[in-house]
Amino acid sequence: MTAEGHAILQEELKNLKTIERPAVIKAIASAREHGDLSENAEYHAARERQSFIEGRIGELEDATKRAAIIDTSKQKGKTARFGAKVKLSDEDTGNEITYQLVGEFEADIKKNKISIASPLGKALIGRDPQDSVEVQTPNGMRYYEIVSVRYK
């Protein structure tokens, strides 16, 4: 995982532990004061939220403890590897887009960060500029040319 991705996960973990967890505990206590828990929607919603928070805390603790943090600023070369920003040209439309290859927990398509475990990520790893890649998508096969690979 990148140092930036690790910091984001650490911040989310801190928020869950210091803000979300105490808030949901208060919500459960407040809902209990309303009486019969079997028909108390507030109580059940708060318990579901608590379950989600505790699950996410466990997931983030595990991910951050096991993470190998890679400093992408020290990487060089033109071959696509973890941390690379890869500019692609869609061979059918000519549209260009740049994706950064990141770990599973960092992937965010809205920020153009794709997992190295995704179909496109797997197709890009080890490739160089001017290479063509084909990727099976839900809308059929897509063909891309790698325009550039950079690490900064």
Q: Is the pLDDT of residue 134 over 80?
A: yes
Q: Is the pLDDT of residue 39 over 80?
A: no
CB atoms within 10 A of CB 55: 10
Distance from C-alpha of 1 to C-alpha of 69, rounded to nearest angstrom:
5
Among the four given CATH numbers 3.30.70.270, 3.50.50.60, 3.10.50.30, 3.30.70.420, the one describing domain 72-150: 3.10.50.30
The distance from CA 42 to its chain's CA centroid, rounded to whole angstroms, is 31
pTM for the whole structure: 0.75
Q: What pLDDT does residue 24 have? A: 94
Q: What pLDDT does residue 130 have? A: 92
Distance from C-alpha of 83 to C-alpha of 67, rounded to nearest angstrom:
14
Q: For the structural domain made of 3-66, what CATH number should be given?
A: 1.10.287.180
Q: Which of 61, 59, 85 is nearest to 73 (CA)?
A: 85
Instruction: Flag the least confident range among 35-49, 58-72, 133-147.
Output: 35-49
Q: Where are the domains of the chain?
A: 3-66, 72-150
> What one-character DSSP code corresponds to residue 23?
H
Q: Is the pLDDT of residue 146 over 80?
A: yes
C-alpha distances out from residue 2 to 81, 110, 124, 137, Å: 12, 18, 18, 26
Q: Are 144 and 89 in contact (CB under 8 A)?
A: yes
Beta strand pairing call for 96-102 and 85-90: antiparallel
Distance from C-alpha of 146 to C-alpha of 89, rounded to nearest angstrom:
6
Q: What pLDDT does residue 117 have? A: 92
Q: What pLDDT does residue 4 have? A: 86
Note the pLDDT tens digit of each residue in 64-123. Answer: 898 888 887 778 888 999 999 999 999 889 899 999 999 988 999 999 999 999 999 999
Distance from C-alpha of 86 to C-alpha of 22, rounded to nearest angstrom:
42
Note the pLDDT tens digit of each residue in 14-28. Answer: 999 999 999 999 998
Distance from C-alpha of 145 to C-alpha of 90, rounded to nearest angstrom:
7
